[in-house]
Each structure stands twice: as C-alpha cells, then as structure tokens.
Amino acid sequence: MNVNNNVNLKPFHTFGIDVPCDVLVEASSIDDLISVYRHPDWQDLPKLILGKGSNVLFTEPFHGVIVINQLLGKSISADGEDIYLKVSGGEDWPNLVEWALTQGIPGLENLALIPGCAGSAPIQNIGAYGVEFKDICEYVEYLDLESLDIVRLSTQECQFGYRDSIFKHDLLGKAIITSIGLKLSSQWKPTLNYGPLNTEKELLTSPQLVFDLVCDIRRSKLPDPNVTGNAGSFFKNPVITHENYRQLQALYPDLNGYKADGGVKIAAGWLIDRCGLKGYQIGGAQVHPQQALVIVNVDNATSNDVLDLAWFIKHAVQDKYGVELEHEVRFFNDKQETRLENIFSERF
C-alpha cells in the first residue's frame, strides 16, 4: 500500500484538471482496502475509490482519502459452451476486451475502448453498440465497508439500468467493487443491430472484425484523453416518451430514436450539435468540435469552466427541444458525490 499526502489529482483522472486531495492511497489488495477503512487517522475522513478516473470531475479540492483501485488478476473457467471470467476490479477494461479476444473468447468486442477499469463497469453499467455490461455479467463482488466482508451480488441484485446500478443508490459510499464475474458464450452471437455496425453487418463475420470496427469508430469520434483531457460522453442519451418523440420528429425529421425502457432514446450529441455548440468554449473548456457529446480540456480548464459549460449546454438543449439532459460524468465536491443541479442551486 502506497500512501501520499497533499497530492495533485491531475494524473489520476482523465480530465487532467489541477485539483488536490489530502491523502492518496494506492491499494493493490483487499487487505490494503481494509487497512484504509481501519486506519485510526482516517476514520472520520471522506473516502473515494478511483479506478482510472475516466468518468469523474472533481469540482473542488477533495478533503479526504482517495483510494486508487489497483487490484489485478483474471481467470478463465468453462462449462459446456459457457465461458466464465473472474476479473479483479483494478484491471483495465480496454485491455481486458483485447485480452479476451486473444484467448479466443468472444462477446466483449462491442465494448472495446470504453475507458476505465473492471470495477467501474458495473457502477455505470457501461454500454456501447447494443451491448451493456448487464448482458454479460454473472455477478459482482464488493467489499462491504461496514462489515469489511466480501459480498457477492447476482446480476438481478445489481439493479442495472441505463448507466445506472445499485452502486449509485443503495450501495453508494458503502461498497468497493473488488471483482466481477462475466458469463460469455464460446459460440459467437454477434450484436450488430446498432448504428454503423448494422450498416456493415454483412462484412462483420468475426469478433475481431467487430472489435476493429468499434475501435476505428471510437477513435474517429472521441478524443484521446492522453492527448486532450476529457471524460468521454459527458451527458446520457435522454429517454423521452413516444409522444414527445413524435412531436420532435415532426419538427426535425432527421432526428433518430431507438426503443428503450420507458420510451425512445435519442442522441444527446445530436441535440447539442443542432444547438450549434460544437466548438463552443467557456474558459479552457470546450465542446469538442467533432463530437458534441464530449467536453474537452483545451486550455488548462478549471472545474468551474467545465461546470459553466455543462450548465450552458443543458439549458440550451432544454430551451430549444424541451429535453432535459442528465450528466453521465460523476461530480465530486470536497467530501462526496454531487450533481450539476445541486452545484448551481447553491450558487444562486
């Protein structure tokens, strides 16, 4: 366990914004995690678990303990046509997807290049191109921060929703995901009915070809956080009622929608783009000129630059389309998770 005080978090989150924390711990075992929560000097301090920091924005200096999940390890087992992977929470997700393909294991290729670690995947119920984490999940194991025991939840018990799970609600601040269990079929069953994969489906005859196309698409659409700081898709794609969708499509015939629980899912990036906001900048934060769903750190942005830009985008879309955007990126103030609406309600 590596411990440092007064650490700049810039290297530990992909937005690359200068923001300090009081204590940073790099934990490589479950015993390390338990030690953090038993440490007498840290008992009363807020604690936050970070994987790759690919979906977070620190809105203020964090006055507590940041714990970097560095639990590593993965194993394979099989039962008939089913393949089971057990993956430690600190494993890099893009590397995991690529590794599975090298092992001849299909089923993860649609989720290629989603930044983050395995332990973050269930929290967000990550998804892309018609596949979500819940579709491949058998179980999630976590460290209960009250009992300090390891608990296993089934897929159903995780209460997965669109970019949502029990870890954002009942278990928020009460659990550290230590490992995930994935169930995949050795008999490839491609999911090619979403967007550009559907267009090219006749050519996508292997998991590797799907993987390659998904990687090409993501690299062409999304800026590399190693080059330009960002947290990927900033807003969730909103789900609106069928009636609202019909009304909007009558006004905007090029608006596309996809069936979703509770209505029709439309593209947040399309809404932002049609508000004319590509390239719009506040301070050092900018709506990416090629991908309107992404806010980038182009010139030493502060957290306030990003917040002000997000607030502006949210209201521009609301005013033009009557659709409310919800941020996918998770915000943390000096002690705990917060929301854009809470931040601005406190300002006014």
Q: Which residues are catalytic?
A: 163, 233, 328
How far apart are the C-alpha atoms of 213 and 196, rounded to whole Å?
9
Both structure tokens of 253: 């015939």
Both structure tokens of 316: 């521009």
Residue with structure tokens 């709506």?
287
CB proximity list for 80: less than 8 A, separation 6 or greater? none
CB distance 62 to 47 below 8 Å: no
10 Å Cβ neighbour count for 215?
16
Both structure tokens of 33: 């995690």
Closest CA to 298 of 235, 219, 230: 230
How many CA atoms does the CB half-sphere of 170 hold within 13 Å? 8
Angle 200-203-204 (CA atoms, 0-180°, nearest 5)?
85
